[in-house]
Amino acid sequence: MAALTNDCLTLRVLARLMAYPEQPLLDAMPRMIEVLRGEAWFPPALAGKIEAFMRRLASRPVTELQEEYVALFDRGRALSLHLFEHVHGESRDRGQAMVDLLEHYRTGGLVLDARELPDYLPLMLEYLSTRPRAEADELLGDAMGVIVLVGARLAERGSDYALLFVALETAVGSPADAASLKRRAATEGPDPTIQKMDEIWQDEQVTFMGNQDPAGACDARRALPPDPITAAGIAVRVEAPADERAATGGRR
């Protein structure tokens, strides 16, 4: 990935923590904690809670973390990390929204090397960690309603992963309907898709951008680079933005 010239590595750390846990992630915790301390995006109390969460992750067997992660995020839709699933469901509008987001990434110089849909929140955070803070705030602000809702649902389940969503809300700002979204999460019943998951995923799989196995895309666990801060990351490549490439005749 291209060298960073901004102060958004915090978003990269949050992306790592939201993604499927692998041993390189646990090994990289000390370096990631250093990044959070150095950029100091969060108030001390919240920063301390996030750091404690990271230390708890690092102290546990990775297989336990993986089992818990799959049970939490990969069963049902209520906690899906694919943002547009909460907004558009499986409608055609979701496909167009993803095309628009993919074009936004390409304009900023992002080329996806991984089989992952562009509305996957860790991928969005990965991209925004390479962009100016103002752009990160704008794009995350547009998604903040979903982020707040998923975070509130995690909190209702007593999950420490809720801290990561609180961190994003703290950094970017709360949406106007944050209170009502949190009340909604507190009064919802069980996620109905957990009980009917097998039937739903069999009937409603979506093919997007040549991905013939959308479920497999979520299950693909990729080899990770050795550098600590890029450990456990989503495979992406950042090129010069489109306007810069045009000015240089496409040379990198």
Query: Would you say residue 3 lies in a domain?
Result: no
Residue 128: enclosing H or E segment and its boundaries?
helix 121-128
pLDDT score for 145: 92
* Tens-digit pLDDT profile for residues 125-151: 999 999 999 999 999 999 999 999 999
pLDDT score for 158: 94
pLDDT score for 223: 35
Alpha-carbon distance 111 to 124, whole Å? Answer: 12
Between residues 22 and 227, the one the model is more confident about:
22
What's the whole-number average pLDDT of the chain?
Answer: 77
Query: Would you say residue 26 lies in a domain?
Result: yes
- Across the range 206-211, mean pLDDT stands at 43
* Tens-digit pLDDT profile for residues 177-206: 899 999 998 887 766 555 555 554 455 444
Between residues 232 and 220, the one the model is more confident about:
232
The total of structural domains in the chain comes to 1
Query: Would you say residue 140 lies in a domain?
Result: yes
Q: pLDDT confidence of 218, banded at 50, 70, 90?
A: very low
Alpha-carbon distance 108 to 228, whole Å? Answer: 25
- Poorest-confidence range of 2-6, 11-15, 30-34, 39-43? 2-6
Written as six digits, the tokens of 205 are 């799989």
Alpha-carbon distance 151 to 170, whole Å? Answer: 12
Query: Would you say residue 1 lies in a domain?
Result: no
Range of the domain at 103: 9-247
pLDDT score for 193: 55
Between residues 49 and 218, the one the model is more confident about:
49
User: Is the CB of residue 165 less than 8 Å from the CB of residue 154?
Assistant: yes
Query: Would you say residue 59 lies in a domain?
Result: yes
The one-letter code for the residue type at 88 is H
Name residue 211's beta-bridge partners.
208
pLDDT score for 67: 96
Query: Would you say residue 201 lies in a domain?
Result: yes
Give the helix, strand, coil percentages of the chain, each rounded to 5: 60, 5, 35
* Tens-digit pLDDT profile for residues 54-90: 999 999 999 999 999 999 998 878 899 988 777 655 6
- Poorest-confidence range of 46-55, 66-75, 145-154, 221-230? 221-230
pLDDT score for 108: 80
pLDDT score for 45: 97
Residue 112: enclosing H or E segment and its boundaries?
strand 110-112
Written as six digits, the tokens of 135 are 């752009």
Q: Which residue has the tokens 């992660």?
A: 69
Query: Would you say residue 44 lies in a domain?
Result: yes
Query: Would you say residue 222 lies in a domain?
Result: yes
Query: Structure pTM?
Result: 0.73
Alpha-carbon distance 115 to 249, whole Å? Answer: 29
Name residue 237's beta-bridge partners.
111
In Å, what is the CA distance from 91 to each residue of 8, 80, 116, 142, 145?
33, 16, 18, 19, 19
Q: Which residue has the tokens 């969060």?
A: 42
Alpha-carbon torsion angle 88, 94, 100, 104, nearest 10: 70
Alpha-carbon distance 88 to 94, whole Å? Answer: 5
User: Is the CB of residue 113 less than 8 Å from the CB of residue 237?
Assistant: yes
pLDDT score for 188: 79
